């Protein structure tokens, strides 16, 4: 678990969480405009942590944000870069 905490700290320093929060806010606003629901932030954040668990042995990247938020590649939008 310490390694996960270390990776979360790296994610904060590298801008991953800032990017995640920005994407979450964008998606939530779009969902609100369409009159549909959006997963709660704690659920989305838990999904992001799951993606970080998967990446512990590897490199953090922006695709994990898209997977955590349930975005298909067709709906994905560039903006956070490939590597964080």
Query: What is the length of the chain?
Result: 84
Q: What is the pTM of this model?
A: 0.60
Q: Decide: residue 20, CB within 10 A, 0-12 exposed, 13-18 middle, 19+ buried.
A: buried
> What distance in Å separates the CA atoms of residue 62 and residue 18, rounded to the nearest whole number?
11
63-77 confidence digits (pLDDT tens): 778 888 888 655 555
Beta bridge mates, 33: none
Residue pointed to by tokens 């964080």:
84
Answer whether residue 84 shows pLDDT above 50: no
What is the reported pLDDT for 76?
52
> What distance in Å separates the CA atoms of residue 28 and residue 23, rounded to the nearest whole number?
8
What is the reported pLDDT for 27?
93
Mean pLDDT of all residues belonging to the chain: 78
Answer whether residue 23 shows pLDDT above 80: yes
């Amino acid at each position: 678990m310490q390694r996960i905490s270390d990776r979360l700290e790296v994610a904060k320093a590298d801008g991953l969480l800032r990017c995640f929060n920005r994407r979450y806010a964008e998606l939530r606003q779009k969902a609100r405009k369409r009159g549909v629901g959006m997963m709660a932030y704690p659920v989305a954040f838990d999904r992001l942590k799951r993606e970080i668990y998967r990446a512990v042995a590897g490199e953090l990247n922006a695709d994990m944000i898209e997977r955590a938020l349930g975005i298909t590649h067709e709906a994905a939008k560039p903006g956070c870069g490939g590597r964080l």
